[in-house]
């Protein structure tokens, strides 16, 4: 028995993942560096016998190269002494499943080249963002010279692989191209750093065997080892570590020391393991991500049921076979769950198609070399916009973090501006101003959206969703003023809090030019919470396209919706039609609404109703630096009222200003029919993050309200500068 214990071995692979979203605040990155990145790398450096595999997103690696040269030197020294392995992946952490093949290859090569240039290491492993896996991955990863990936053991469950069999690596293939797959060890992931290091050592001892070909793969976000909660104290501060077993010693150096003391633990990089041990066998994994992600992506009503069922099965030893085959949703469904996510994704595809078209024209004219640097810059802007963080929502803010969405739009509009400049030069256009109207299935839902693009402004119109505008780009500032977010229902929203108006949920997407019809008694609070009674059928009705035309100075789109208004007095419907006209010229957008009752029903009393027009917008600056002005407002009413404060007032022209970006938006109402009142309020989403519930500013909505009548003709001019 003694000899058998002595012969027991377990390979331990440790992977740390360093990532920050593109354009995250510098102070956030600096804080992560001080609390986690630096002490973690310093401790790895102090234990040369501990082999570690490191992954850095390209943008955080560039940040370290620029700002922390001493840390980079330590990484180089560890690379030279064979202590560490650096793995590759997408430079800006895209989800490979939702970006085109060309972009996958380019992003992977870009990161591999940077690693080889700075550290002299050629990556053979690939990091998968959020461990999202699809069965075609071996093909393009193999094409880039990458030989293995790391996925959750969750990916293996539905194949029938038992837990003991996840202590090995496997081969998979697609189109005959092979790839090694390493399962992440779930117990180790939950033990570190939350439990004393003795727990991890005992667990490793329990899975060691005398063959020595098993591997326990521990991966962790670097931020988990110092940024989350009190982990900095647990991991690095003497006396603040776990007392039971570790006697208060800091987790990271204590864990590394225990690895070196227990010779039956073979610390190894994944590349070394591959070279020493063949795969256990062939496997084909289904589309998957980590288990929590598969919960988060589900539609909210289904997610609540699924979470309850999964927890019930997980805790029941007699139902483990059922738990093994229980799978959640498919990552791509985030593009359906959050239309704003789909909006960013489809804009990315739209912009890259424009860039490919320009590239093709340059090649035909043998001018590609002349514009090479501009083309590279434009592609890099698109790659930055593919960073995964804001395309989904789970434990972290994700799609709810407005500055991350702003980053995506800014980079995509930057790319558009580069394309505009190349096109203008290419065709020797003296004046750079242009305007186009393009009908297309932008959302990829088989319905037609309309895109109006000029040198200054882009308008994206959805006839099927109430004839609304869902994107408004001011290109000189690379600024999408409709980067608003709808307050979507989430599984973690408490029903009682929703019913008591502590949490507001929207019924319709927060787009511009949405028509609402409601009683004059409707309160501002009811509109803020979106719990008023909608009296018309136009709010999200499909509008027909009547006209799309342009000349050198303007583009015009006309839409028509036929519907009804509820007549409460007679308990009947009043048939009417709504015409919408959207005109884009130079720096202004004119919105015109004509609402007219059918001739047979004219004379109906409608003065107890308002027609409200949603004019939401988003400012990315500091809300303390937002300002607003109305020429004819009662100054006593406006006194001490900030732009984001809810208010009901009257005026004929509103100017709002984002001082941070020096951006002004003006709303001017026609002198013929002025609003009877104007409502303004902030759009505040309640999102659960790693810091608990947070109220997140998602924009401001202004609703001019007009008393209904037989014929109503309203015009609103928007001016951006």
Orientation of helix 69-80 relative to helix 38-46, angle to 10°:
30
Main-chain phi, psi angles of 572, to 5 degrees:
-145, 180
Quote the CA–CA distance of 124 and 111 in Å, as a whole number: 12
Tell me, yes or no, if 130 is annotated catalytic. Answer: yes
Q: Are 656 and 701 in contact (CB under 8 A)?
A: no
Quote the CA–CA distance of 510 and 617 in Å, as a whole number: 9
Q: Are 634 and 649 in contact (CB under 8 A)?
A: yes
Orientation of helix 69-80 relative to helix 58-67, angle to 10°:
110
DSSP H helices, 145-225, are: 154-157, 186-191, 197-207
The residues, ordered by sequence, that sit 6+ positions from 356 with a Cβ below 8 Å of its Cβ are: none
Quote the CA–CA distance of 122 and 502 in Å, as a whole number: 53
Q: Is 705 exposed, middle or buried (0-12, 13-18, 19+ CB in 10 A)?
A: buried
713-to-131, 485, 562, 680 alpha-carbon distances in Å: 54, 29, 16, 22
From the list 103, 130, 471, 698, the catalytic residue is: 130
Which has the closest alpha carbon to 711: 613, 590, 611? 611
Computed on alpha carbons and rounded to an integer, the radius of gyration of the chain in Å comes to 29
Quote the CA–CA distance of 37 and 53 in Å, as a whole number: 14
Quote the CA–CA distance of 387 and 344 in Å, as a whole number: 11
Quote the CA–CA distance of 653 and 662 in Å, as a whole number: 19
Quote the CA–CA distance of 344 and 347 in Å, as a whole number: 5
Q: Please name the residue that has the structure tokens 């986690």.
A: 36
SS3 category, 399: helix
Q: Is 649 exposed, middle or buried (0-12, 13-18, 19+ CB in 10 A)?
A: middle
The residues, ordered by sequence, that sit 6+ positions from 27 with a Cβ below 8 Å of its Cβ are: none
For Cα atoms 271, 275, 279, give the angle at the middle one, nearest 5 degrees: 95
SS3 category, 370: coil
Quote the CA–CA distance of 208 and 36 in Å, as a whole number: 30
From the list 173, 209, 221, 713, the catalytic residue is: 221
Q: Is 194 exposed, middle or buried (0-12, 13-18, 19+ CB in 10 A)?
A: middle
Orientation of helix 372-384 relative to helix 402-426, angle to 10°:
160
Token code pair at residue 75: 């990484």
Q: Please name the residue that has the structure tokens 């050592």.
A: 201
- For 401-452, what is the HEC assignment? CHHHHHHHHHHHHHHHHHHHHHHHHHCCCCCCCCEEEEEECCCCCCCCEEEE
Quote the CA–CA distance of 190 and 211 in Å, as a whole number: 26
Tell me, yes or no, if 173 is annotated catalytic. Answer: no
Token code pair at residue 453: 């693009």
For the annotated catalytic residues, the residue numbers are 130, 221
């Amino acid at each position: 028995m003694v000899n058998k214990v002595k012969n027991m071995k377990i390979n331990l692979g440790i992977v740390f993942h360093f990532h920050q979203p593109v354009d995250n605040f510098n102070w956030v990155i600096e804080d992560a560096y001080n609390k986690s990145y630096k002490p973690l790398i310093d401790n790895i450096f102090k234990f040369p016998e501990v082999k570690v595999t490191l992954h850095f997103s390209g943008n955080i690696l560039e940040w370290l190269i620029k700002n922390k040269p001493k840390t980079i030197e330590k990484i180089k020294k560890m690379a030279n002494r064979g202590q560490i392995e650096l793995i590759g992946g997408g430079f800006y952490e895209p989800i490979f499943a939702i970006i085109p093949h060309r972009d996958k290859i380019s992003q992977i090569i870009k990161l591999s080249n940077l690693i080889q240039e700075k550290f002299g290491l050629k990556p053979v492993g690939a990091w998968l963002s959020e461990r999202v896996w699809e069965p075609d991955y071996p093909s393009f990863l193999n094409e880039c010279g990458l030989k293995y990936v790391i996925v959750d053991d969750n990916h293996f469950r539905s194949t029938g692989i038992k837990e003991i069999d996840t202590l090995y690596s496997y081969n998979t293939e697609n189109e005959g191209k092979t790839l090694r797959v390493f399962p992440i060890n779930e117990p180790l992931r939950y033990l570190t750093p939350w439990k004393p290091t003795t727990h991890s050592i005992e667990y490793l001892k329990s899975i060691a065997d005398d063959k020595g070909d098993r591997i326990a793969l521990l991966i962790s976000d670097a931020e988990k080892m110092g940024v989350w909660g009190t982990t900095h104290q647990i991991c690095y501060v003497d006396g603040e570590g776990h007392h039971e077993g570790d006697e208060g010693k800091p987790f990271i150096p204590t864990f590394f020391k225990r690895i070196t003391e227990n010779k039956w633990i073979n610390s190894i990089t994944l590349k070394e393991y591959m070279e020493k041990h063949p795969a256990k066998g062939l496997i084909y994994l289904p589309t998957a991500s980590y288990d929590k992600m598969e919960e988060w992506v589900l539609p909210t009503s289904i997610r609540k049921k699924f979470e309850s069922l999964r927890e019930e099965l997980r805790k029941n030893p007699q139902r483990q076979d059922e738990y093994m085959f229980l799978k959640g949703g498919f990552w791509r469904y985030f593009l359906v769950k959050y239309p704003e996510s789909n909006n960013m994704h489809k804009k990315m595809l739209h912009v890259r198609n424009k860039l490919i078209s320009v590239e093709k024209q340059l090649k035909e004219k043998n001018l590609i070399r002349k514009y090479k640097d501009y083309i590279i810059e434009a592609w890099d802007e698109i790659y930055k916009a593919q960073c995964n963080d804001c395309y989904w929502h789970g434990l972290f803010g994700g799609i709810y973090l407005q500055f991350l969405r702003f980053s995506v739009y800014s980079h995509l509009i930057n790319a558009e501006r580069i394309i505009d400049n190349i096109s203008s030069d290419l065709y020797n256009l003296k004046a750079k101003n242009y305007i186009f109207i393009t009908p297309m299935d932008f959302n990829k839902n088989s319905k037609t959206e309309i895109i109006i693009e000029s040198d200054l402004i882009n308008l994206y119109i959805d006839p099927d969703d109430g004839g609304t505008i869902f994107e408004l780009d001011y290109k000189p500032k690379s600024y999408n003023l409709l980067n608003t977010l709808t307050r979507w229902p989430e599984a973690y929203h408490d029903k009682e809090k929703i019913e008591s108006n502590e949490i507001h949920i929207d019924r319709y997407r927060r787009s511009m030019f949405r028509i609402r019809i409601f009683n004059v008694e409707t309160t501002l609070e009811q509109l803020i919470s979106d719990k008023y009674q909608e009296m018309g059928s136009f709010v999200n009705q499909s509008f027909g396209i009547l006209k799309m035309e342009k000349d050198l100075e303007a583009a015009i789109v006309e839409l028509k919706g036929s519907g009804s208004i509820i007549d409460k007095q007679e308990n009947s419907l009043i048939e009417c039609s709504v015409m919408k006209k959207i005109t884009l010229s130079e720096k202004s957008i004119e919105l015109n609404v004509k609402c007219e009752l059918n001739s047979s029903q004219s004379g109906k009393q409608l003065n107890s109703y308002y027609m409200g027009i949603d004019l939401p917008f988003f400012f990315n600056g500091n809300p303390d630096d937002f300002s607003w002005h109305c020429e004819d407002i009662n100054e006593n009413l406006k006194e001490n009222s900030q732009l984001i404060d809810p208010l009901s007032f009257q005026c004929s022209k509103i100017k709002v200003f984002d001082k941070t970006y020096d951006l002004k938006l003006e709303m001017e109402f026609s002198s013929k029919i002025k609003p009877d009142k104007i409502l303004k309020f902030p759009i505040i989403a309640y999102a659960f993050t790693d810091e608990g519930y947070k109220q997140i500013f998602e924009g401001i909505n202004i609703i001019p309200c007009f008393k209904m009548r037989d014929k109503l003709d309203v015009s609103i001019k928007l001016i951006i500068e």
